[in-house]
Amino acid sequence: MDQQLQGMFGASSDMLAVRHRVLRNTYWLLALSMIPTVIGAWLGLQIHFSLFAGSPMISFIAFLAIAFGFFYAIEKTKDSATGIAVLLGFTFFMGLMLSRMLEQILHFSNGSSLIMTAFGGTAVIFAVMASIATTSKRDFSGMGSWLFAGVIVILLAGIANIFLQMPLIQVVISAIAVAIFSAYILVDVQRIINGGETNYITATLSIYLDIYNIFVNLLSLLGILGGERD
């Protein structure tokens, strides 16, 4: 009986150690992934990068094709060091894609302030949501299907607004997106803690996308509502 109890406690201890290691490695890789993102954004600003600037719809389709190509490659290489390189390549690409929006925001007289505010707001949201996910006994996994449905809705609304170009619709989309991806942090971090995600590369990808989308949509809101022109 004592041996069985020791075996149970030992197995439980090993599981906790694995989960903590995955979470720790995820946070380290998440921090590392910000470096190529910043480099990509800086380079994009220098070369005025734009993906099919003359056709927003083609640009959107091309972005999705490249992004899903990276997702496929990351999934195939997630159990090797190559997966880290592919993930960092993806974050560099996302930095490039971010540069066009940053360039638009920097046209405002308070553009630099708006970017720093969006960065600070994103950091606070991540810290709060990750802390809740780590300490709360509530199960957030049931939110996943609802959040995914919300992403589909805002994606369709975003496509529609490519043609409509209505700032009010963009404000609503961005506000909802910030709420959805903030909630996704709860789901994604808790999935690691509960043992539902055991690969730190795919875990990093999920949380990176949450943070990226929060930042982009916060910046969009700040630009529309608080941008000051000379």
pLDDT score at 9: 43
pLDDT score at 214: 97
CA distances from 224 to 21, 91, 146, 163, 175 (A): 41, 26, 28, 18, 12
Nearest Cα neighbor of 41 from 118, 121, 109 is 118
pLDDT score at 12: 60
At residue 43 the predicted structure's pLDDT band, cuts being 50, 70 and 90, is very high
Interior/surface letters 105-137, b for 16+ CB within 10 angstroms, e for the rest: beebebbeebbeebeebbeebbeebbeebeeee
Both tokens of residue 42?
A: 């800086």
Task: State the pTM of this model.
Answer: 0.91
Nearest Cα neighbor of 94 from 31, 33, 142 is 33
d(C-alpha 201, C-alpha 27), whole Å = 10
Residue-wise pLDDT tens digits, 8-18: 444 466 677 77
At residue 7 the predicted structure's pLDDT band, cuts being 50, 70 and 90, is very low
pLDDT score at 2: 47
d(C-alpha 47, C-alpha 185), whole Å = 33
As a dihedral over the C-alpha atoms of residue 221, residue 222, residue 226, residue 228, rounded to 10 degrees, the angle is -120
Mean pLDDT of 30-43: 97
Number of domains, the chain: 1
**Residues above pLDDT 90, as percent of the chain:** 67
Mean pLDDT of 25-48: 96
Angle among Cα 97, 99, 100 to the nearest 5 degrees reads 85
| DSSP code, position 109 | T
Identify the domain containing residue 122 by its residue range: 2-226
Residue-wise pLDDT tens digits, 170-225: 999 999 999 999 999 999 999 998 888 889 999 999 999 999 999 999 999 999 98
Residue-wise pLDDT tens digits, 56-106: 788 888 999 999 999 999 999 999 999 999 999 999 999 999 999 999 999
d(C-alpha 168, C-alpha 162), whole Å = 13
